[in-house]
Amino acid sequence: MKFVRFLLLCFLAVCLLCFTAILLLPRVNEKNIIRLPSKAISEYADFFAAKFSHAYGNEEANIKAVGSSRKQSVPAGLLAPQNGELNLRNVSNVDREFEELLRNVNDQDEENSKESLEGTNQEASTETGILKYDELSCKPYNHIAFLKTHKTGSSTLTNILNRYADLRELIIALPMRHLYRFGWPNYFHWSSVDLWRLNGKPASVLCNHARYRRPLMDVVLHSDTKFITILRDPVYQFESTFNYMELYRFLRLTNYSNPLEVFLTNPRGYLRNLARTETPFPESMHLVRNGMFFDLGLAPLAQDNDEEILNAIKKIEHEFTLVLMMEYFDESLVLLKREFCWDLDDVIYIKQNERKVGTDTSKKVLSLQLKEKIRAWNKADVLLYDHFNKTFWEKIKQHGRGFYKDLEDLRRKNREMYHDCVSPEEVTETAFRLTGKIRGFKLNEGVSRFNKYLCQKLLRNEIDYINYFREKLHPYSEYQKQLRAAGRAPPLEQAAGNIITNRIKAMRVRLLNSTGIRGVQSQPSRQTVQDISQRVQSAAQNVRVVPKRAQVAAQNERLQNAAQNVRVVP
């Protein structure tokens, strides 16, 4: 009896529990304490079952399932379940959900990257006319000449090119003897190049200051050399030149608090004064107007002639593969990397030649009015810069989104290298023996062993690099001997194989031919030039003598005849 009562109590307790559960569960569900996505769970179960069945041989079902997830075009009806088969309709639904989810994420990524693109550069937002760029299959291009303009970030770029030549054992053109420029401010001439270190072969890289004159540069370079240069907003390029090069000293404006402003009140007047008092004209004063165009070869007299300026711009566009922009230095380097199929590591850099703050020559704040005056005074450079600023963004547009991935990677690598290479200790330097103070760098004592070698090269300035190359490229240096022994450097020059001497001879012959002397191409020997100049002289004499003699003889004859006639007639 007791046992029956116990059973009854248990039954009542279970009923009470069930009743409470029935009452409470919907409330729990409502409060989202427990979610029971039964439909989703069953769909996932089907989906995994499909995968599972594939792993054990249901190939066809899986192909359909995968097909449904990859190709949206497969109609859902095709995946309807057959008797006894897995519920593939559900599988495809789930796949579609995944796909949908992925698409949303991708779309969102694209939206985000679009936004960031628009943020950085409005012009690069369309995808039309994208260049094909395949980093893995393209071949690095090793023949490059950099026309190094002044105060444009060009020393940083020169470090990149020096490093490229250095690490790949490329031959680089060096200025003659103890010099650091190729005869600048004169136009480039091959005689300003250290031909001995070129060992008769054209240089692969040229990257120190020079004034552009293409035909004479071609004498020392490979015929397929690509030329590049860099420009900077003329307002800041001029400010940097004027202060860093201390042009105000030559102009005797040191007593003024803002010499640049004073100079621009009457620039021609100040220059006339200078021309009267200073002989010879100080070298750096060649940059006092349109400095970038001066480096790019435009004659100062042409700087006021719009037609000549536009023609010169067209010529540069035609002859240069890339015109980089200092304000977009990183973008410029990514363009360089892609155009020449280089590695991203080739274009990492540490900013060189930056003026120190708090010195006489440091950056000055410019009023709007002064900026306008600088623009007006450097009109040719403004036209040059504006033109190439446009074409620059057009080039970037052709590279599509991959460009911005490279840009991000470059910036990240630059930060990493700076952190590892550079000592926090402040260093001040002077370049080109000028008094202007620039920021220098000291190798970080704690640099990683892995990066040390590269860091040393990254921090080497232009002058140190030239001195280093002078030793490295000395034909009889131990280094060159070893390179030659390993077949990694050309054998020592043989007279017949001296490409540069032959080019110079041919050029001279062409020059003399253009003066009208014929028949000299067949003998381009050492004697040629002397022979030709002698012939030119004697030809010139003959031109004067022969007609005279003929005239005298003819006159004599006439006189004699006349005399005879005179005698005969009486």
Ligand X SMILES: Nc1ncnc2c1ncn2[C@@H]1O[C@H](COP(=O)(O)OS(=O)(=O)O)[C@@H](OP(=O)(O)O)[C@H]1O
Look up residue 347 and give its two tokens.
């274009």
Q: Could you report how far apart the first and last alpha carbons of the chain are, in Å?
A: 194
Min dist CB 326 to ligand X, Å, is 5
**Residue 513 phi, psi dihedral angles, 5° rounding:** -60, -35
CB within 8 A of 374, min separation 6: which ones? 234, 235, 238, 239, 260, 264, 366
Residues 421, 451: contact at Cβ < 8 Å? yes
Separation of alpha carbons 335 and 408, rounded Å? 13
Site membership for ligand X, residue 226 (CB under 6 A): no
Site membership for ligand X, residue 152 (CB under 6 A): yes
Separation of alpha carbons 361 and 358, rounded Å? 8
Choose between 64 and 286: whose C-beta lies nearer to ligand X.
286
Site membership for ligand X, residue 284 (CB under 6 A): no
Residues 292, 232: contact at Cβ < 8 Å? yes
Choose between 222 and 375: whose C-beta lies nearer to ligand X.
375
Strands 226-231 and 427-429, sheet pairing: unpaired
Number of shown-chain residues binding ligand X (CB under 6 A): 18
Choose between 463 and 520: whose C-beta lies nearer to ligand X.
463
CB within 8 A of 204, min separation 6: which ones? 142, 143, 144, 165, 170, 171, 172, 222
Look up residue 536 and give its two tokens.
């030119």
- Residue 418-457 contact track with ligand X, rule CB under 6 A, x = bound: -------------x--------------------------
In this chain, which stretch among 25-33, 61-69, 83-91, 349-357 interacts with ligand X, using CB under 6 A?
A: 349-357
Choose between 86 and 207: whose C-beta lies nearer to ligand X.
207
CB within 8 A of 307, min separation 6: which ones? none
Site membership for ligand X, residue 353 (CB under 6 A): yes
In this chain, which stretch among 15-23, 103-111, 147-155, 185-193 interacts with ligand X, using CB under 6 A?
A: 147-155
Site membership for ligand X, residue 413 (CB under 6 A): no
Query: Which one among 69, 90, 156, 208 touches ligand X, defined by CB under 6 A?
Result: 156
Comparing every residue's Cβ against ligand X, the nearest one is 155
Site membership for ligand X, residue 147 (CB under 6 A): no
The DSSP output letter for 343 is -
Choose between 357 and 543: whose C-beta lies nearer to ligand X.
357
One-letter identity of residue 235? V
CB within 8 A of 513, min separation 6: which ones? 520, 521
Q: Which residue has the tokens 């490059």?
A: 144
CB within 8 A of 540, min separation 6: which ones? none
Site membership for ligand X, residue 461 (CB under 6 A): no
Site membership for ligand X, residue 291 (CB under 6 A): no
In this chain, which stretch among 10-18, 77-85, 151-159, 538-546 interacts with ligand X, using CB under 6 A?
A: 151-159
Query: Which one among 54, 64, 143, 150 touches ligand X, defined by CB under 6 A?
Result: 150
Site membership for ligand X, residue 332 (CB under 6 A): no
Query: Which one among 154, 199, 229, 444 touches ligand X, defined by CB under 6 A?
Result: 154
Q: What is the 3-state secondary structure (H, E, C) of 186-212?
A: CECCHHHECHHHHCCCCECEECCCCEC
Look up residue 406 and give its two tokens.
């490279």
- Residue 236-275 contact track with ligand X, rule CB under 6 A, x = bound: ----x---x-------------------------------
Query: Which one among 189, 249, 363, 505 touches ligand X, defined by CB under 6 A?
Result: 363
Query: Which one among 133, 141, 187, 329 touches ligand X, defined by CB under 6 A?
Result: 329
Look up residue 168 and give its two tokens.
């790949």
Choose between 315 and 351: whose C-beta lies nearer to ligand X.
351
One-letter identity of residue 63? I
Query: Which one among 51, 249, 252, 355 touches ligand X, defined by CB under 6 A?
Result: 355
Query: Which one among 205, 326, 382, 383 touches ligand X, defined by CB under 6 A?
Result: 326
Site membership for ligand X, residue 480 (CB under 6 A): no
Residues 473, 172: contact at Cβ < 8 Å? yes
In this chain, which stretch among 62-70, 353-361, 396-404, 419-427 interacts with ligand X, using CB under 6 A?
A: 353-361
Question: 422 - beta bridge partners?
Answer: 443
**Residue 526 phi, psi dihedral angles, 5° rounding:** -60, -35
Strands 322-325 and 438-440, sheet pairing: unpaired
Choose between 58 and 352: whose C-beta lies nearer to ligand X.
352
Min dist CB 299 to ligand X, Å, is 21
Min dist CB 155 to ligand X, Å, is 3
Task: Note the helical H segments in 72-127.
Answer: 88-120
Task: Tell me which residues touch ligand X (CB under 6 A).
Answer: 150-156, 240, 244, 326, 329, 351-355, 363, 431
